[in-house]
A and B are shown apart, each in its own frame.
Chain A
């Protein structure tokens, strides 16, 4: 790196176990977060905020949720879309039934509902493992989507079957609904992501995260040394679903504005799974890198042919996108199964020795 950690001796356990033990890292991360809060709302135009940054933050939160479950606890889930839908529909019900409730509280409450649902669908994980579980989580995906489609109560008996984000304010600033500015919605999304990423980072390096990883690496051995599988797995499902639920609520309230169940179909589950794979299983940073990658690729694919003077038909563009996604995933798995986060780590380690590679 351009800086060295030489001479930074740790003289207490607290400083040795800090999230960022190197001073420069800490400063760098703080600067990045501060810049993320200040620069885009002032500098970026609505297109960037609306089409790139807001979805990026929301996907990052969902990917973080799935990463806790799949990357850290080793329980593959294809039901992310379903859990996000739970968050979105509960947020809609909460905000329309209790108009006085602060929208942030609504988000958190919908996360809790999603966590409850996640626990219910996590129960089979005690007996079913690996691929069987991955398929079983599809039950959550299909059942939940069906439920929201069939029961009119969830959409307040709207004949269109869509849910629309009502207008709500935080500290006097409009943050949801059609009149809110992209900047305001961005800051809310960023705030939530920042807090939850910090919580996740702390979770995974503590007792909970260690028990998750023990279950992931060798569940029977973990059980023998005293990790309780039921509690650990259900906690993973609960926290993961909480994150996904909040992401789902944000997905409708801060990004789409209004949505129907189609927005939460199985393709969303796959998309989030790809973010986790490409970003890096078992890495908080990876969730962000993966989300950024997946959000940027379609934009890249749409714009590059235009730049070099080609105009592709929309259908072909869509097909190209599928192919490129598929090929990229295979490519990544072959080149670096641990994802972008691992590449970043390797770069850092190489730079640490630079310019003396040996």
Chain B
């Protein structure tokens, strides 16, 4: 039986690790949604795009710190461009219109990234070894541990940013109501640039982790779709929700795949997360940590 328990723990650890990776992508979504009410479908592609830029620069011989800094600058420039070209003309449009604009953005960035950096799979190596070690008979992976730590640090920083700073308060105000925020003198443009930049930086972190694990390739943006069930499970507006949702989805998915997958032919990872999230939503429509939506006429 000891073997079984070890196996179970290994599955759990794998699930937690995978879940945290989803959480990293989901964090970017939450940031933008929380701070501007825009459902950013392009977050997955932003992750891919940042990883591509980083790898592309490193392949051209730019040293790692400089490449990181340049990628960060690129993402901030992207935030400016998105604000100017996409968001500003769409102020006061319905959320659904903004959502569809980000789908357009998604496609544009996908084509653009591929055009600039090429379509082949690239290896990303930022110096974190993807090796395993064994604690009490359970395999652990250094890369996954690093990802977990990074996620934890990021969440701590973001939580402070949102709850304790002036800009955080402004961000929450904008999310509540664009027009009201504008009328009390919150600069909407600045807020949007800030929040998309932060989301871009989070995307870089996620991109590094994902890229180091499975190489930088276009299937990454599809994997990133996995962070959507994480989001609906955790609630669109909750930073801790993104983490907890990620853990639940990651663990649930791995357990499902390992224990029930073989009964129905395997590869249920593709949809298990979605169905899990969907079932959950039937009982708690706003997600785990989402704000209770009170609707009035």
Contact = CB atoms under 8 A, between A and B. Distances in A.
Contacts of A127: 281-282, 285
- Chain A contact-residue range equals 35 or more
A288 B104 CA distance: 20
A129 interface: yes
Contact of B107 (A316, A325, A334): A325
B231 A135 contact: yes
B270 A333 contact: no
Contacts of B282: 124, 127-128
Contact of B111 (A131, A273, A274, A322): A322
Interface string B262-290: 00111110110011011001100101000
Contact of B110 (A76, A130, A266, A322): A322
B236 A146 contact: no
A277 B278 contact: no
A221 B297 contact: yes
A136 B278 CA distance: 6
Contacts of A145: 270
B228 A327 contact: no
B9 interface: no
A36 interface: no
Contact of A139 (B264, B266, B275, B295): B275
Interface stretch (B14-22, B85-93, B162-170, B171-179): B85-93
B85 A330 contact: yes
A136 B285 contact: no
Task: Pick from B106, B115, B236, B266 the residue with the most CB of A within 10 Å.
Answer: B115
Contacts of B281: 124, 127-128, 132, 136
A158 interface: no
Interface stretch (B94-102, B131-139, B207-215): B94-102
Given A139-B278, A326-B105, A334-B89, A132 B285 contact: yes
A315 B120 CA distance: 11
Q: What's the dominant secondary structure at chain B's contact region?
A: helix
Interface string B225-236: 100110110001
B223 interface: no
Given A139-B278, A334-B90, A327 B108 contact: yes
Interface in A206-221: 218, 220-221
Given A320-B111, A333-B97, A334-B89, A132 B232 contact: yes
B39 interface: yes
A337 B104 contact: no
B255 interface: no
A333 B101 contact: yes
A151 B267 CA distance: 12
Interface in A270-327: 270, 273-274, 277, 315-316, 318-327
A130 B105 contact: no
B7 interface: no
Interface string B196-232: 0000000000000000000000000010010011011
A139 B273 CA distance: 8
Nearest to B222: A266
B229 A131 contact: no
Contact of A329 (B39, B104, B232): B104
B274 A136 contact: yes
Interface residues of B, number: 51
A206 B295 CA distance: 28
Contacts of A224: 297
A328 interface: yes
B39 A131 contact: yes
Nearest to B264: A150
A138 B225 contact: yes
A325 B104 CA distance: 7
B285 A135 contact: no
A326 B104 contact: yes
Contacts of B225: 138, 266
A316 B111 CA distance: 9
Contacts of A139: 229, 271, 274-275, 277-278
A130 to B, nearest CB: 7
B109 interface: yes
A143 B275 contact: yes
A151 B281 CA distance: 28
Given A128-B285, A138-B225, A316 B115 contact: yes
B115 A319 contact: yes
B114 interface: yes
B8 interface: no
B103 interface: yes
A20 interface: no
Contacts of B103: 270, 273-274, 329
A48 interface: no
A142 interface: yes
Contacts of A337: 93-94, 97
B260 to A, nearest CB: 13
A188 B110 CA distance: 37
B296 A220 contact: yes
B265 A218 contact: no
B108 A330 contact: yes
B111 A326 contact: yes
Nearest to B268: A146
A124 B277 CA distance: 11
Interface of B: 39, 85-86, 89-90, 93-97, 99-101, 103-112, 114-115, 119, 222, 225, 228-229, 231-232, 236, 264-268, 270-271, 274-275, 277-278, 281-282, 285, 287, 295-297
20 contacts: A129-B285, A131-B99, A131-B236, A132-B285, A135-B231, A138-B229, A139-B271, A139-B278, A146-B268, A146-B271, A149-B267, A150-B267, A320-B115, A321-B111, A323-B111, A326-B109, A327-B108, A329-B101, A333-B101, A334-B90
Closest 8 CB pairs of A and B: A326-B108, A322-B111, A329-B104, A326-B107, A139-B274, A323-B111, A142-B271, A143-B271
